């Protein structure tokens, strides 16, 4: 690694080596273009570190994790439930992905897998159509129920079971939706399931 000239270079390089990073981004007080070296981690040396969520030390060193952006949003575009809904898992399946930054939502399994430890936000709206049954939808983390939502009005043609939550997740934790009660035989077009990484830990 070739050291870049900027205030606190030695401290930056030491921190980079400590973190196992290979990218050092340095700029002087009046510089506009950073110097980028190889690797997957960014160490920004700046006399005025920003407050954009990066970890900042007393030396004015801002550390950001490359590829930290994680978000997904899936939707059901058809009214008919897939054949998989009849199996014992009762996972609610989606058939379209609107957003999948980081590619951590598996559309076929309709499961999100966390790429890193952090705080994540999730929300869902599961629509039942022309169905007088009460449905219960659970958001599951590693096969454990976290939150539930219900839709049970018998006098409307469409109703959504909706909820949202912040979760602390470890790397490789899985989140999905499960139909705990009722059926979606009447159709469930326009149902959505979304989530994103708020910040890593």
> Which domains occur in the chain, in start order?
71-200 (2.60.120.40)
- With beta carbons less than 8 A apart as the criterion, state whether 26 and 34 touch: yes
Three-class DSSP category at 18:
helix
Q: What is the mean pLDDT of residues 22-29?
A: 46
Which pLDDT score, from 0 to 100, does residue 117 have? 98
Residue 130 has pLDDT above 90, yes or no: no
Name the average pLDDT for the chain.
75
The owner of tokens 């959504």 is 160
Which pLDDT score, from 0 to 100, does residue 168 have? 98
129 pLDDT band, cuts 50/70/90, is confident
Torsions phi, psi for 161 (to 5 deg)? -90, 115
Residue 96 has pLDDT above 60, yes or no: yes
174 pLDDT band, cuts 50/70/90, is very high
pLDDT per position as a tens digit, 42-82: 444 444 444 444 544 444 444 444 457 999 999 998 877 66
- The beta-strand segments (E) located in the chain are 23-26, 41-45, 55-56, 61-65, 71-75, 96-101, 105-106, 111-113, 118-129, 135-141, 144-151, 158-169, 174-181, 192-200
28 pLDDT band, cuts 50/70/90, is very low
Which pLDDT score, from 0 to 100, does residue 84 have? 62
Structure tokens at 36: 């980028």
From the list 132, 198, 147, the residue with the least C-alpha distance to 177 is: 147
Global confidence as pTM? 0.66
């Amino acid at each position: 690694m070739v050291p870049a000239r900027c205030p606190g270079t030695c401290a930056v390089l030491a921190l980079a080596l400590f973190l196992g990073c290979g990218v050092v981004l340095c700029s002087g007080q009046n510089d506009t273009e950073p110097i980028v070296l190889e690797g997957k981690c960014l160490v920004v040396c700046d006399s005025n570190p920003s407050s954009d969520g990066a970890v900042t030390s007393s030396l004015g060193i801002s550390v950001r994790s490359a590829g930290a952006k994680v978000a997904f949003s899936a939707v059901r575009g058809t009214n008919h439930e897939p054949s998989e809904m009849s199996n014992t898992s009762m996972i609610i399946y989606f058939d379209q992905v609107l957003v999948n930054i980081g590619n951590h939502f598996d559309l076929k399994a309709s499961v999100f897998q966390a790429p890193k430890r952090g705080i994540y936000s999730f929300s869902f709206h599961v629509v039942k159509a022309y169905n007088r049954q009460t449905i219960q939808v659970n958001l599951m983390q590693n096969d454990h129920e976290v939150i539930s939502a219900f839709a049970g009005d018998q006098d409307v043609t469409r109703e959504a079971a909706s909820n949202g939550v912040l979760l602390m997740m470890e790397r490789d934790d899985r989140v999905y939706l499960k139909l705990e009660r009722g059926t979606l035989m009447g159709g469930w077009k326009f149902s959505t399931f979304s989530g994103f990484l708020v910040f890593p830990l």
